[in-house]
């Protein structure tokens, strides 16, 4: 079910509507990644009295080195970690548009979904982003104690968190908040596994640029695969916590 959903998403890359969203998503992903990277350099430089010396890269002096080749390689390396919050942020901006493109091609008989208001989507994403960052900071202690298992713990943790968020937002368009939570509980294992399937390529530089949008499409398919009867009709959204 998960692989089928992913290959359906991958197969739609030739669709002009989907391709437009994909390219916009990649552009925004690069912008967000650069923003997180600039923030990282700022914090590091300030904590080290304005200078950061790294092997191979050499001295990193914030903005002056932000666009240098050495700093570019550093950003690619850090993208293995920074792409997780970037992928989280992408959901609030593009998932609805990606889901609409997916449903127009693969589920044309469905009635119109109820879009999630932007302020609600942004609020949920900011709340989740805080949880995501907090969980990963706490996990650093586990990584230190279990260094050989660190990457697998990273994938499992972020696969759980990202899968939860992507499925929740995809399901809310059709089932509302309460229905989405129930659907998520009913398909806990599949969602976690699909989230891990998304988290692994997020740690691969360059490839990870395409994953947030492909992930949104994959979870749209996964939602419809797990809720064929309930997603066939339109329900009144209940977005009250």
pTM (2 d.p.): 0.77
Task: Judge whether 216 and 94 are in contact, CB under 8 Å.
Answer: yes
Secondary structure E strands in the chain? 52-54, 58-60
What phi-psi label fits residue 50: left (phi over 0), alpha (psi between -120 and 50 degrees) or beta? Answer: left
**Residue 208, helix vs strand vs coil:** helix
Beta bridge partners of residue 52, listed in sequence order: 60
Q: What are phi and psi of 58, to 5 degrees?
A: 90, -150
Task: Judge whether 166 and 216 are in contact, CB under 8 Å.
Answer: yes
What sign does the CA torsion over 26, 31, 35, 37 have? Answer: positive
pLDDT in tens, 50-109: 555 545 545 555 444 444 545 666 666 667 777 788 787 777 778 888 888 899 889 988
pLDDT in tens, 201-237: 988 878 888 888 899 999 999 999 997 655 444 444 4
What sign does the CA torsion over 211, 130, 225, 171 have? Answer: negative
**Residue 116, helix vs strand vs coil:** coil
């Amino acid at each position: 079910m998960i692989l089928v959903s992913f290959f359906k998403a991958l197969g739609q890359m030739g669709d002009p509507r989907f391709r437009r969203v994909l390219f916009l998503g990649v552009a925004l992903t690069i912008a967000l990644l650069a923003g997180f990277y600039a923030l990282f350099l700022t914090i590091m430089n300030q904590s080290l009295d304005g200078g950061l010396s790294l092997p191979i890269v050499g001295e990193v002096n914030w903005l002056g080195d932000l666009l240098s080749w050495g700093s570019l390689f550093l950003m690619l390396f850090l993208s293995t970690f920074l792409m997780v919050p970037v992928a989280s942020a992408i959901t609030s901006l593009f998932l609805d548009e990606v889901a609409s493109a997916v449903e127009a091609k693969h589920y044309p008989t469905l009635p119109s979904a109820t879009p999630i208001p932007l302020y609600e989507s942004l609020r949920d994403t900011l709340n989740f982003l805080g949880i995501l960052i907090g969980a990963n900071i706490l996990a650093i202690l586990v990584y230190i104690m279990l260094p050989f298992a660190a990457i697998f713990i990273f994938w499992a943790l972020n696969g759980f968190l990202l899968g939860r968020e992507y499925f929740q937002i995809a399901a809310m368009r059709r089932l509302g908040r309460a229905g989405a939570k129930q659907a998520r509980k009913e398909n806990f294992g599949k969602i976690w596994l699909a989230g891990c399937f998304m988290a692994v390529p997020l740690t691969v530089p360059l490839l990870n640029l395409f994953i947030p949008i492909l992930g949104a499409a994959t979870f749209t398919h996964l939602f419809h695969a797990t809720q064929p009867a309930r997603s066939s009709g339109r329900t009144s959204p209940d977005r009250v916590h």
